[in-house]
Structure 1
Amino acid sequence: MQDPRGVPACFSSAEKIAGDPAAVTRPGQSVFISTYRTKMADQCRFITITWFKNLLLHGLSVAVDGPPGLPESHCTCKVELKPWYFWRKHGCKSFTVDEKAVDVFWDLRAAKFNGETEPSSDYYVAVVCDEEVALLLGDLKKDAYRKTKCRPALIDPCLVSRKEHIFGKKKFCTKVKFHEKGGLHEISIECKSKTDPEMEIRIDGHLVIFVKHLQWKFRGNESIHVNKGRLEVYWDVHDWLFSTGLRHALFIFKPNLPLTSSSRSMSSPSLSLDSTPLSSQTGSSGSAEGLNNGGGPSKFCLFLYAWKVE
């Protein structure tokens, strides 16, 4: 996995999003990137699913790790959902990984996006190799297995990380699952621009982090509790305060225990502020291990790139 500040190499409509998050410079372009760990072509590999949307284009990119030892080598399939190309909303594309055929099937004809970049229902995206469905997204699972004529994989894929690029002026909101089988949690981040800037982070409407004197605490972390689960939150808002133009801040949410949809009651966060760079604070966030469904520590991380637009 890459450094927490990096972004997997995937495609947008007119530009390639490289390791530098500053490559995303177009306000209004939404990018959601989910990385899964699974077994494919006789190797444990990462599959990266990218949904992107701007004023002209809505699309999907599927990237699979290349041969071991070549981390920068990706095999990529790109699907553009232009409104005047209805037939492109379902189909199949193929490429090879280590000389093995990989097929990507999708059906987004009836997909409900509800104004979001990712669909919420009535769709499937399936990645197939060696007559197994290595990764299956969406709720039309029966349709996917019937179309691919392949069996489910013996090993369930694990969601390792999710990266989102969101734009705003003072307030930034998103919804996310901290666990694949859990419910959606609403995260809101608000930076109050005063003589002495302050920052609020809320989860499901509950104030869980409040930072005073943000100009002195522009980097830090806190541990908050959601029912019986603990969530580590890291932030770096240096560019918000001290740079000009289109500026981004980085927020990392790392659950130590899987959080469920019933995790609504918030306890008082334990304060642990410091100015240590995020890259050193989160050295284990890029672990190749997946979610531990048995109740042990989770290796999933959510990375939010919040872009401030004047």
Structure 2
Amino acid sequence: MKDFPSCFGENGVQVADASCTTAAAVATTTTMSNGSISIAKASQNVVTCVYQCKLLGKSRLIIINWTKNLVGHCFSIEIQDLSHKCLNKIDIKPSIFTKRKGTKSVIVDFVTIDVYWDLSIAKFGSGPEPIEGYYLGLGYKGEMILLIGDLRKELLKKTKYLSNSLRISKREHVFGKKWYATRAQFKDNGPVHDLRIECDTFGLDDPQLVVRMDSKIVMQVKHLVWKFRGNYTIFIDGLHVEVFWDVYNWLFGPTTGNAVFMFQTGSGAEKSGSLPDRSISSLRGSQSSNFCLTLYAWKNE
């Protein structure tokens, strides 16, 4: 790979615009003045989803950060204002001590946005993002500017809103020793797939990388020592999905370093072999319908 975008560090991964991800712990590596490397390991309990929506006739970014702590699952919502510089943040912390269903209002650009959520019967996997049994919606003047969850029809019946939103990206931290698993949806209202990355680098002279979708191998990289960065196109749900990987840290970096995997749909994926810039700042004003899933893979020691 020749040139990496500014949001990807040489020894790790950074998000270029930290102000847009205040609720999410981001993987970073910093070289100290004495030459040593200080690594801030990302939280396992954060999933960040970015959506492109329309509000007051303008395209906005809405960022949902799902988190998990000792008292339960929480989420925060960040709504981009008209200046495209500031994000209005809403923190919702339903737990065993408070309601897991409710409504809340927030002022954005001098108008009131209503937030609706129901996690009362939500089911969760190993991560903080609900798998099923929930809805989360943002409404304004009879229109649901953002609506997610498998129970969204229930909310539409109650509010009689119409929905109009577009997924842009999702970032997630996954942990493991030899394999790393998550769930991935590449098409709006399409099937949810079990995505699994397999890579054993411990003590092997010639490790290989395998990507499975619903247990089926969709990508395999041999001689990984020489191909520690690259890209490959797979075909999922009628879509071309460009897969980018960077496992340099697993092979040559610090023992606590992470690898990066990016799955990008549509024709916007670059062919140069470098990871495209999918930082929050680069997404501002983007009108692309492409979806990008980024996984930060950390090895458990």
TM over 0.5: yes
**Aligned residue number for residue 116 of structure 2:** 105
Structure 1, unpaired ranges of 5+: 258-272, 292-298
Establish whether residue 78 from structure 1 lines up as the match of residue 85 from structure 2.
no
Establish whether residue 162 from structure 1 lines up as the match of residue 160 from structure 2.
no
Displacement after TM superposition at 1:78 (Å): 1.2
Contact 1:41/1:100 (8 A) holds in 2: no
**Aligned residue number for residue 246 of structure 2:** 236
Query: 2-side partners of 1:74 and 1:150: how far apart?
Result: 27
Establish whether residue 68 from structure 1 lines up as the match of residue 46 from structure 2.
no
Establish whether residue 192 from structure 1 lines up as the match of residue 200 from structure 2.
yes
Select between 164-173 and 206-215 the one with higher mean Cα deviation: 206-215
Query: 2-side partners of 1:64 and 1:91: how far apart?
Result: 19
Query: 1-side partners of 2:78 and 2:214: how far apart?
Result: 32
1:129-144 pair list within 5 angstroms: 129-144=140-155
What SS does the corresponding residue of 1:217 show, helix, strand or coil? coil
Query: 2-side partners of 1:247 and 1:140: how far apart?
Result: 38
Select between 173-182 and 92-101 the one with higher mean Cα deviation: 92-101
Match of 1:48 among 43, 57, 63: 63
Query: 2-side partners of 1:251 and 1:21: how far apart?
Result: 16
Query: 2-side partners of 1:56 and 1:170: how far apart?
Result: 30
Displacement after TM superposition at 1:290 (Å): 4.6
Match of 1:171 among 170, 176, 179: 179
What SS does the corresponding residue of 2:206 show, helix, strand or coil? coil
Query: 2-side partners of 1:134 and 1:93: how far apart?
Result: 15
Displacement after TM superposition at 1:246 (Å): 2.6
Contact 2:123/2:132 (8 A) holds in 1: yes
Over the aligned positions, Cα root-mean-square deviation in angstroms equals 3.1
Displacement after TM superposition at 1:305 (Å): 1.1
**Aligned residue number for residue 32 of structure 2:** none
What SS does the corresponding residue of 1:195 show, helix, strand or coil? coil
**Aligned residue number for residue 296 of structure 1:** none
Contact 2:136/2:152 (8 A) holds in 1: no
TM-score by length of 2: 0.78
**2:274 aligned partner, one-letter code:** P
Query: 1-side partners of 2:90 and 2:40: how far apart?
Result: 20
Match of 2:41 among 17, 22, 25: 25
What SS does the corresponding residue of 2:250 show, helix, strand or coil? helix
What SS does the corresponding residue of 1:120 show, helix, strand or coil? strand
Displacement after TM superposition at 1:64 (Å): 0.8
Query: 2-side partners of 1:227 and 1:47: how far apart?
Result: 25
Contact 1:161/1:302 (8 A) holds in 2: yes
**Aligned residue number for residue 288 of structure 1:** 286
Q: Deviations over 1:35-87 (max 9, x none)?
A: 111111331101111212245542111111123342xx11111112332x132
Select between 226-235 and 101-110 the one with higher mean Cα deviation: 226-235
Structure 1 residues 79 and 21: CA distance shift in structure 2, 3 A = farther
Query: 1-side partners of 2:106 and 2:62: how far apart?
Result: 14
Quick one: percent identity of the two aligned structures? 33
Displacement after TM superposition at 1:178 (Å): 0.6
Contact 1:77/1:104 (8 A) holds in 2: no
Query: 2-side partners of 1:280 and 1:119: how far apart?
Result: 27
Structure 1 residues 150 and 21: CA distance shift in structure 2, 3 A = farther
What SS does the corresponding residue of 2:132 show, helix, strand or coil? coil
How many residues align? The count is 273
Establish whether residue 249 from structure 1 lines up as the match of residue 247 from structure 2.
no
**2:287 aligned partner, one-letter code:** E
**1:166 aligned partner, one-letter code:** V
Structure 1 residues 138 and 42: CA distance shift in structure 2, 3 A = same
Establish whether residue 59 from structure 1 lines up as the match of residue 74 from structure 2.
yes
Q: Deviations over 1:79-116 (max 9, x none)?
A: 12332x132x1222222221212221212112222554
Establish whether residue 181 from structure 1 lines up as the match of residue 202 from structure 2.
no
Q: Deviations over 1:165-195 (max 9, x none)?
A: 1111121011111102211122111112212
TM-score by length of 1: 0.76
Q: Deviations over 1:131-188 (max 9, x none)?
A: 42211122333542465x46324xx211111111111112101111110221112211
**Aligned residue number for residue 267 of structure 1:** none
What SS does the corresponding residue of 1:86 show, helix, strand or coil? coil
